Amino acid sequence: MAQFATLWRSPIVNPVNKKARSIPFLNPVTNVYGRVFFFSWFGFMIAFWSWYAFPPLLADVIAADIHMKPFQVANSNIIALTATLLVRLVAGPCCDRFGPRKTFAGCLLAGAIPTFLSGAVYNASGLYALRFFIGILGGSFVPCQVWTTGFFDKNVVGTANALTGGLGNLGGGITYFVMPAVYNSLHSHGMAKHTAWRVSFIVPGILIVFVALCLLLLCPDSPTGKWEERFAAAETNLRRHSVTITGEVVDVPGNITDAPTPVTESPAATSEDEEKKHGWADNEAHITDQEMVATVRGEVIQKPTIKEVLSVMASPQTLVTAAGYFCSFGAELAINSILGNYYAKNFPKLGLQQQGNWAAMFGLLNGVTRPLGGYVSDMVYRRTKSVWAKKAALHAYGVITGVFLIIIGVLDSKDQSTMFGLVAAMAVFLEGGNGANFGLVPHVHPYANGVVSGFTGAAGNFGGIIFAIIFRYNGKNYGKVFWIIGVMTIAINLAVSWIRPIPKGQIGGR
């Protein structure tokens, strides 16, 4: 019961970095951590919905209206993923420079403009251009994850990231229900097909603007306040902690360069045993106070230079998370785009609505499977106190995913129960791998979390593009592509499994 109560009560906060040690999932009104958590996943869900608002109507209604051919529909899906890849690469450094909250709101507002302009499309070229700019919304995943990472401590950050990402990904399934429903409602009330699908895009556009304004007006940049004041706030908390534990200020070398806010008085003494009893120092219990202070200093996000951005992106540890996300989220994006067609090929008696419903289930499972992956990542970390355990969980998810993809592709089952069961089982590990991946990301170069998150997220889109191209050039031979992706997933995970999870000598992230 006590654990269940953490879903609404104010969380215990790490006194050094001010990050929450639990997730107040059901308290978005009165608690700032609950509010940031809510707008992280809800903002990404609305963005994902609008990002994928075209596919549910594209193949039938829109393509017929603007006279598109099948290969042009496939091209438009690839273009949308390409834009998101570029935006994610840029959004990462922007998070470190301007803060994730402002970057998040910027992505939403920029993506709302082409969403409102969807009704102005009258040919394939116009759709290509529009979907490219709507792809900006897919980039909102990066600030979503960086923002969550900044508010939740290492014991729950994997679960928090997986929940915000998984609930956000529900937008990919929700859009298959909502967009046809909005379109059908407008059409049934007398609006022509030509007009109804154009007007339907106003709904996600309005929601995007509303959420962006809420982000700007109701939420803070970080647990310590304004983004530009994070250095001074961190220095103040570090000095306070040193006074509390030792009775004097401990001067620990670090790379915080902004002038700290002076400490005018010492807070009431709090014993080290009392803090550890509440669990905030569980993974730091084996190190000295000076080492812990140095660790926290190393986790304060820095303003990145171009040289530092390129260095972090080229790091073997960043390449590990990127490779994992290339396989997991990349495969998810590509499969999302063709799953309805795959079901139509193998089960022609299902009909359009049922095909879409079963295809939507794959995306909707993200609400459970991705958070489960993050929870497993956090659980093995808490039990072992080792980041290696998180990395092992990530690769285990990847290899098992590959096995299921190969089985689905080789069987190419014509039995509905077998096919739907295998796809659901595959989704548990494929989508769970996304959660496990972003359970590891906060440990890798924590001073540049935006860069690591952006590069990793972009790699997922790159995987989606590569896998979508493979699907495109194999026509309706979907089973063959499934086992090809499965083999690639296993090979890539094994190829990077030997790399240590965090760089040798890294300060923080352990």
Q: DSSP secondary structure string, 232-263?
A: HHHHHHHHHHHHHHHSS---------SPPPPP
Residue 3: how many other CB atoms lie within 10 Å: 7
Residue 115: how many other CB atoms lie within 10 Å: 26
DSSP for residue 302: P
Kindly give, in sequence order, each residue whose CB lies less than 8 Å from that of residue 20, ignoring residues fewer than 6 positions away: 11, 12, 13, 14, 33, 151, 152, 153, 156, 223
| Strand, helix or coil for residue 345 | helix
317: left (phi over 0), alpha (psi -120 to 50) or beta: alpha
Domains 1-223 and 304-510 share a fold: yes
Kindly give, in sequence order, each residue whose CB lies less than 8 Å from that of residue 91, ignoring residues fewer than 6 positions away: 103, 107, 139, 140, 142, 143, 450, 454, 457
Query: Can you give the pTM of this predicted structure?
Result: 0.82
Predicted confidence at residue 263, as pLDDT, reads 34
Distance CA 60, CA 49 (A): 19
**Computed from CA positions of residues 323, 326, 332, 334, in that sequence, does the dihedral angle turn out positive or negative?**
negative
Q: Cα-Cα-Cα-Cα dihedral of 393, 280, 456, 56, to 10°? A: 90
Q: Provide the CATH number for the domain formed by 304-510 in this structure.
A: 1.20.1250.20
Show the DSSP H helices in 365-448 as ranges: 366-384, 387-411, 416-440
Distance CA 5, CA 31 (A): 14
Predicted confidence at residue 2, as pLDDT, reads 54
Question: Which residue positions in the chain have pLDDT lower than 70?
Answer: 1-2, 234-235, 237-299, 352-353, 508-510
Element spanning 131, H or E: helix 124-134
Domain residues of the chain, as ranges? 1-223, 232-298, 304-510
CA angle 318, 494, 85 (to 5 degrees): 40
Predicted confidence at residue 206, as pLDDT, reads 96
Element spanning 303, H or E: none
Predicted confidence at residue 262, as pLDDT, reads 37
Predicted confidence at residue 280, as pLDDT, reads 40
Tokens of 69: 């051919």
* Amino acid (one-letter) located at 481: V
CATH fold for domain 1-223: Growth Hormone; Chain: A; (1.20.1250)
